[in-house]
Every structure is written in C-alpha cells, then in structure tokens.
Amino acid sequence: MTSATVPSSSATVRVPAKVNLELLVGPVREDGYHNLSTVYHAVSLFDEVTVSFADEWGLEVCGPRAEGVPTDGSNLAARAAQLLARAGGVDEPVHIRIRKDIPVSGGMAGGSADAAAALVACDHLWGLAMTREELEEIAADLGSDVPFLLAGGTAMGSGRGEVLAPVLARGTYHWVFALSDGGLSTPAVYAECDRLREGREVPEPTPTPAMMTALRSGDARALGRALTNDLQPASIRLMPELGDILDAGMEYGALGGVVSGSGPTVAFLVEDTEAALDLAVSLTASGAVQDVRRATGPAHGAHLVAGPRPS
Ligand code: C5P
C-alpha cells in the first residue's frame, strides 16, 4: 500500500518482533523489576497497526495470530494511544486495527511492538510531531521493551530494558523461530528465575566481550556461540519441551539456539537462507515443533507504511 491508496483519515505502521541475543538478568530490584544487560535485535516478523479517526475509541485484531489478543482497554496498543492522547492534549478518538503476525505471549515482544506502532501511527494521524525522545519516554511507561521497538535494529538495553544505547553490529543474520502453541507469562518466568537462583549471589549484569566481538565482526558462527539468556533455565523449567526443541535445532545444524526473551519461542541462528529452509523443514518433520517461521535481522523499528502526507 502507498500513501495514495489509503484515505488520509488513517495511518498504518509496520513494526518488527525482537529477539534478545544476550539477556543477562541482575538481582530483583525494590520495584519488583530486574536490572538487565541485554542486546535487542529486531527481526522481520511484522505486525501492522492502522489507526483511523472514529466517533469513539475502538480496537480490533485480525491476521494469522489474532487469537488470544485482548481487544479491550488492556491491550497495550490501546493504552499507548490513550497515553499519547493525554500527553499531546488530544481529544480525537481513533479506531485501532492490529494485523497480528508476531506470536502472542511468545517472548518476541508482540504486545510491546503493537504499542510502539500505535504511538507512531497516532502521532502521525493527530499531527503531533513528537520528538523521538518524547515518544521514547511514553514508550518506557508502557513497558520495558517498547522503546526498542520504536528504534529497531540491534541495540543494547539496560535499566529494566528501557534504556537504549547503540551497539556496533555488522551483517545480516538468518533466523528460524520454533513457535509453541501455549504462551509463557513474563512475570512468571522472572519469578521462576529468582526461585532457581535463591541463595546465590547474583552480580549486576554487564555485556560480555564474546557478544560484543561477535557483533562487531559480523561473524554468524561466533554470534551463534555467544547467544545467552539467563531466563532460559526458568523457561525450560516451566515448559520442559523447550529443552528438547533446543537440542533438536542444534542437532539439525543450527549455529546457535536460545529461548527468545521469556519464551516460549526458541530462536535458531543459521548460516544463510538455504540453511534456514533446511532447518525449518527438519524441525517441522521431527514433530517436536508446532510451527516454524523464518526471518532475518536486523529489521527497522516501527515505521509508517501508509498515511496522510505531512502538510
Ligand atoms: O516492562 P514489562 O511490563 O514488559 O514487564 C513485564 C513483567 O516482566 C514485569 O511486571 C516484571 O515481572 C518482569 N520484568 C522484570 N524485569 C525487567 C523486565 C520485566 O522483572 N527488567
């Protein structure tokens, strides 16, 4: 779709999913969150969010992964639009339509992605022209991952994940994602992680040289070896079949495998497009995996694909 083919009373934003290449989790903080040192990487699985002027606020979800997404005010995209309206002093209701292709409760930040997309779309529709910093501040209030979904690419995250810093990363990476039928609750996975580490001294997390070197060199093999996720043991404890899926992917030739965020999606890094196709076929044939998706990264953050031209 181009700007010319949609009515100027709506704006459509495309937004990617994310995987954490490195997710190091510090001790639990007083506010219940954990300090993180993470490397976010946006990948080419996309949701599309369209906002249109309407008589009253509304939200609908369509597309291949619409099932299980809330359509009431608890949807993060709806909260994003309301928060932006308040910040911008806007009193113009919008209807939000989410075309969902990112797995729901899959550890790929699908809900956060929709919130980031809603911010960009509404900012455009309402003609607010907020700065990136202003949008990032609202994004951080919505969730730890939301600022990154505005930015996209590959970036370091610290604080509870909302503080972004650039990272020197070369190359395009090929991924195969093994999706699970059920979802995992992020708070439940963090709580299980705390439980598993009880009585142990947990250091403040800092980026590892292995990950930084791999990204700087653009070496997929080194990156495959460096993939790390401190939440992985907790996700596997809550969903033991994830361990079997990781084993299967490595056996079928992946360069590396890691649970994505809090899971249950498992991300496998492979050499190229052909290797991605081979691994996707093998994982599907093994019966160990319900659904697979191929993608590449890094991908751009939330960006307008259709809408009114700026005046
Ligand atoms: O920030 P967000 O709303 O996405 O976080 C969801 C939940 O994940 C939090 O309520 C918390 O339980 C957990 N979390 C955490 N530490 C972080 C990020 C998330 O404990 N850095």
Instruction: Tell the residue nearest (CA) to atom 14 of ligand 1.
Output: 33
Residue 99 has phi, psi (to 5 degrees) of -100, 110
Helix 132-142 × helix 76-88 angle, to 10°:
130
Q: Is the pLDDT score of 14 beyond 60?
A: yes
Dump the DSSP string for 144-207.
TTHHHHHHBSEEEEETTTTEEEE----S-EEEEEEE-SS---HHHHHHHHHHHTTTS--PPP--
Ligand 1 neighbour 186 (Cβ under 6 A): yes
Judge whether 94 and 120 are in contact, CB under 8 Å: no
Mean pLDDT confidence for 292-303: 98
Peptide bond just before 205 cis, omega within 30 deg: no
Is the separation of the CB atoms in 288 and 246 below 8 Å? Answer: no
Residue type, 96: I
Q: Tell me which of 47, 114, 145, 230 is the catalytic residue.
A: 145
Enter the pTM of the model: 0.95
Strands 10-28 and 228-229: parallel
Q: Torsion over CA of 146, 157, 184 and 143, rounded to 10 degrees?
A: -30
Q: What is the mean pLDDT of the segment spanning 265-282?
A: 98
The stretch 282-308 carries a mean pLDDT of: 93
Question: Which residue's alpha carbon is at the smallest distance from atom 12 of ligand 1?
Answer: 187
Which position has the higher pLDDT, 7 or 133? 133
Provide, rounded to the nearest whole percent, the portion of the chain with pLDDT above 70: 96
pLDDT of residue 198 exceeding 70: yes
Give yes or no for residue 154 having a pLDDT over 70: yes
Report the percentage of the chain scoring pLDDT > 90: 93
User: Strand, coil or helix: what is 61?
Assistant: strand
Give mean pLDDT, residues 184-205. 96
What tens digit of pLDDT does each residue of 99-123 get?
Answer: 999 999 899 999 999 999 999 999 9
Active site residue 18: yes
Q: Cα separation of 119 and 86, whole Å?
A: 12
**Which pLDDT band, with edges at 50, 70 and 90, does 307 fall under?**
confident
Which phi and psi angles does 259 have, rounded to 5°?
A: -70, 135
Kindly give, in sequence order, each residue whose CB lies less than 8 Å from that of residue 182, ignoring residues fewer than 6 positions away: 105, 239, 264
267 DSSP β-pair partners? 177, 258
What does pLDDT average to over the chain? 95
d(CA 8, CA 53): 10
Domains and CATH numbers, the chain: 10-167 (3.30.230.10), 173-297 (3.30.70.890)
Nearest CA to ligand 1 atom 19: 33
Separation CA 152–CA 150 (nearest Å)? 6
Query: Which of 105, 190, 235 for a ligand 1 pocket mutation test, highest count of atoms within 8 Å of Cβ?
Result: 190
pLDDT at 8 over 70: no
Q: How far apart are CA 160 and CA 272, in angstroms?
A: 33
121 is in an annotated binding site: no
At residue 1 the predicted structure's pLDDT band, cuts being 50, 70 and 90, is very low
Burial of 65-93, coded b for 16+ CB within 10 Å and e otherwise, reads beeebeeeeebbbbbbbbbbbebbebeee
User: For residue 240, what is the DSSP state?
Assistant: T
**Three-class DSSP category at 229:** strand
Q: Is 145 a catalytic residue?
A: yes
- Taking 60 as the threshold, does the pLDDT of residue 311 lie above it? no
Catalytic residue among 18, 47, 114, 230: 18
